[in-house]
Amino acid sequence: MTHCYNIAGMIFRVNHSYDGITRLCADWEYVPAGDRDTVPRTDITDIDITPDDIAFEREKDADGHRDAYLETLAMLRLAAEKAAFENVILFHSSSMLYGGRAYLFTAPSGTGKTTHCRLWKELLGDNTAFLNGDKPFIRLTADGPVIFGTPWKGKEGYGGNISAPIGGICLVGRGTENRVTRADFSEVLPRLIRQTYRPRTAEAYERVMKSLIATASSVPVFEMSCNISAEAAAASFEAMTGEKAPQTFRSAKNG
């Protein structure tokens, strides 16, 4: 079966075998506007998912997932490989919308970045929203880096088909005290690289590194040592936005 999806401004025409991709990417489906479609054929990127691609994902899978699920991972990997040539990178993070900008929290799985985003939601209520819970794309544009929600939203399913300019990136770490400091991106670049999809070909890898460095050098990057608490969410909010966190939130959570 073949379907087209618009992800991060790229039109992917995906040839696949299972309907898991159809369900996963429903909100990103691209439907041409008949004969008046303005997307040139040359701007459509083909992704042909083969049994070998699924087998590649199976070798890395420790949980025995079905092929239909592994095919969705193969699509993500192949899309990220092709996106590298469009100044687009796959960056493992959870992200929140606030004040028209996106704030990204990145860390190895299990560190608590998704929980931290949930605390932001409790902190700000309807003034914030989840953009993506796990694997967004970042596109480098003439106006700066923009984050795009993708179908790969994490097990909680946080986020949607939305985008926003990036207001800041925060590297999350566990600690007994809540401390957020502005970082020199060059000093934390190795950690940012570990959270970025790294293509297998040298040319694509070079493109990704250039886009990552351009992104990290043009937006504020922070390091955070924190526990999972109301104070931690308030600390990151204040450092990243420059605004005062609502006191009622901290009082309610810790009273």
Q: List pLDDT tens digits, range 33-87.
A: 665 555 555 588 999 999 999 999 999 999 999 999 999 999 999 999 999 999 9
Nearest to 54, CA basis, from 24, 21, 10: 21
pLDDT exceeds 70 at position 122: yes
Nearest to 25, CA basis, from 38, 40, 12: 12
Confidence at residue 174, expressed as pLDDT on a 0 to 100 scale: 81
Q: List pLDDT tens digits, range 203-217.
A: 999 999 999 999 999
Torsion angle of the four alpha carbons 119, 120, 126, 131, in this order, in degrees rounded to the nearest 10: -110
Pick the more confident residue, 68 or 248. Answer: 68
pLDDT exceeds 90 at position 195: yes
Q: Cα dihedral sign for 12, 168, 143, 195?
A: negative
Nearest to 93, CA basis, from 57, 62, 138: 138
Tell me the pLDDT band of 26, cut-offs 50, 70 and 90. Answer: very high
pLDDT exceeds 70 at position 250: no
The amino acid present at 119, given as its one-letter code, is L
Q: Cα dihedral sign for 118, 219, 98, 129?
A: negative
pLDDT exceeds 70 at position 253: no
Confidence at residue 227, expressed as pLDDT on a 0 to 100 scale: 80
